Structure 1
């Protein structure tokens, strides 16, 4: 049975918000990699805001796309080691 669009959109929005709250940069902020980590966080946060806006105007397709893109940016940053994943049960949020 396919997932309900509204349920999936809400789930991905919550997942992105939880993932943003969970990560910690692993690189110094004043290094080139620190700049990359900051840019990834900015992109993920922007996509979260965009998704919330689309949700408010009853556009779940674009909301889901925004949440998914934001999550992809953040997950890629975790995957390449720019962010640490906490060992408090939230590691399931990432593909490490």
Structure 2
């Protein structure tokens, strides 16, 4: 079981980092939607940072939860049209 948790934690951490690198804000600046996109990105980055903190503290359960929450925020932003992502990516549920 611990090996599975470690593998999944690593995979989700990498997936969130890759997703953040791939997602570009798609809505015009100086609009409420742009502000929302920035907030979604900030939340995803904060959860990535939290996950790295928990992983370093040998707390893989909370690390995995943080990575998962961050990914969920970003994926939701993509589905709402706040972000553009490459068509060939399989990172998002577009």
Instruction: Report the TM-score when normalising by structure 2.
Output: 0.95
SS in 2 for 1:92: coil
SS in 1 for 2:9: helix
Measure, in 2, the Cα distance between the counterparts of 1:28 and 1:61.
37
How far has the Cα of 1:30 moved from its partner? 1.2
How far has the Cα of 1:29 moved from its partner? 2.4
Partner of 2:91: 93
Instruction: Report the TM-score when normalising by structure 1.
Output: 0.93
Give every structure 1 segment of 4 or more consecutive aligned residues whose post-TM-superposition deviation is greater than 6 Å. none
Query: 5+ unaligned residues in a row in structure 1: which ranges?
Result: none
Measure, in 1, the Cα distance between the counterparts of 2:30 and 2:42.
16
